[in-house]
């Protein structure tokens, strides 16, 4: 199995649309009446969920006239939030076919299918022409991509000069080995978590200037603390959450990720970079 296939297999659920419908039904929400907010707990597959997207995307200053690329869009939760909030047209690309198909259905449910198009493909071979986009973002994807130079060369190629590109990835903070499995990988075979210095080198080699960098470690620890308290108080997880995506493996992946965070091995980091400013 090649690496792309291994990664998409890691993320594939098999019956995800039905599982999301069941979670909505438990709350008395008909899928066709679901809102972007109703889907937020399950369709934002990164540390901090919707709150993280609000903090991160706001820095990109997205405007309604812009065409924005969401690299590794997953189910398109951030794309729907960005389209609804800023009015922009969003194109999402992701390796995992099931996420793309389910994500497009979620766009239909919330009435955003005219402004969002999700498609299957690789960030390392973007099916778009040069300077096609006014901006781009990538959330919790770089951990699955070994060749950061090739990644940022592709992103640079499809962006216009002056475009903002936002990255919100889990990055390495020291040289310690990570404990696996984690939400993005079952073993180290498909995990290439890199330091922010490595991101900077690869970005700067491809025409980007790093304007902002924010370490979101405290936010992340707080997020997991609150999640644990809410789940304890309710006697279990809510009807929709990231456990719906990760199923029974959640019980190992999330504690391992929190342990890696608490030990200072990793942290979610935002970078806002500009192409040829």
Ligand X SMILES: C[S@@+](CC[C@H](N)C(=O)[O-])C[C@H]1O[C@@H](n2cnc3c(N)ncnc32)[C@H](O)[C@@H]1O
Kindly state the smallest distance separating residue 11's Cβ from ligand X, in Å.
5
- Name the residue whose CB lies closest to ligand X: 74
- Cβ closer to ligand X: 191 or 196? 191
Block residue for tokens 């040069």: 130
Q: Are 8 and 96 in contact (CB under 8 A)?
A: yes
Could you say which residues in the range 214-273 bind ligand X, by CB under 6 A? none
Residue 100 or 277 with smaller CB distance to ligand X: 100
In the bound state with ligand X, the residue whose beta carbon lies nearer, of 94 and 134, is 94
Q: Are strands 208-215 and 266-275 parallel, antiparallel or unpaired?
A: antiparallel
Smaller CB distance to ligand X: residue 12 or 161?
A: 12
131-145 residues labelled b (16+ CB within 10 A) or e (exposed): ebbbbbbbbbbbbbb
Q: Does 122 bind ligand X (CB under 6 A)?
A: yes
Q: Sketch the per residue contact string, 68 through 87, with ligand X: x for CB under 6 A, - otherwise.
A: ----xxx--xx---------
Q: What does the alpha-carbon distance between residue 52 and residue 23 come to, in Å, rounded to a whole number?
A: 22
Q: Choose which of 62, 90, 145, 258 interacts with ligand X (CB under 6 A).
A: 145
Asked whether position 141 contacts ligand X by CB under 6 A, the answer is yes
Q: Is 126 a residue that touches ligand X (CB under 6 A)?
A: no
206 with 153: CB under 8 angstroms?
A: yes
| 111 CB-near residues (< 8 Å, 6+ apart) | none
Q: How far apart, in Å, are the Cα atoms of 67 and each of 70, 77, 141, 150?
A: 10, 17, 20, 22
> Which listed range, 14-22, 33-41, 133-141, 220-228, lies at the site for ligand X (CB under 6 A)?
133-141
Cα–Cα dist 106/126, whole Å: 23
Strands 89-94 and 67-71: parallel
Between 147 and 229, CB nearer to ligand X: 147
> Taking CB under 6 A as the criterion, which residues in 172-201 touch ligand X?
184
Applying CB under 6 A, the residues found at the interface with ligand X are 7-8, 11, 44-46, 72-74, 77-78, 93-96, 99, 122-124, 139-141, 144-145, 184
């Amino acid at each position: 199995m090649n690496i792309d296939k291994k990664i998409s297999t890691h993320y594939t659920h098999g019956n995800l649309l039905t599982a999301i419908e069941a979670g909505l039904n438990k709350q008395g929400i008909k899928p066709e009446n679901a809102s972007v907010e109703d889907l937020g707990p399950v369709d934002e597959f990164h540390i901090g969920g919707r709150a993280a997207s609000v903090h991160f995307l706001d820095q990109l200053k997205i405007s309604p006239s812009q065409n924005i690329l969401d690299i590794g869009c997953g189910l398109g939760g951030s794309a729907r939030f960005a389209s609804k909030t800023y009015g922009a047209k969003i194109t999402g690309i992701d390796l995992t076919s099931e996420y793309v198909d389910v994500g497009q259905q979620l766009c239909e449910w919330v009435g955003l299918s005219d402004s969002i198009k999700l498609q299957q493909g690789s960030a390392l071979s973007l099916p778009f022409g040069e300077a096609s986009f006014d901006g781009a973002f990538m959330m919790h994807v770089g951990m699955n991509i070994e060749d950061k130079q090739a990644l940022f060369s592709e992103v640079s190629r499809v962006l216009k000069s002056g475009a903002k590109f936002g990255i919100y990835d889990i990055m390495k903070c020291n040289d310690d080995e990570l404990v696996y499995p984690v939400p993005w990988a079952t073993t180290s075979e498909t995990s290439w978590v890199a330091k922010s210095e490595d991101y900077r080198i690869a970005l700067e080699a491809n025409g980007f200037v790093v304007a902002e960098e924010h370490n979101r470690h405290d936010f992340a620890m707080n997020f997991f603390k609150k999640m644990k308290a809410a789940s304890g108080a309710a006697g279990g997880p809510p009807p929709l959450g990231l456990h719906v995506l990760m199923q029974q493996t959640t019980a190992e992946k999330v504690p391992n990720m929190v342990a890696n965070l608490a030990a200072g091995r990793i942290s979610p980091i935002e970078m806002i970079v500009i192409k040829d400013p």
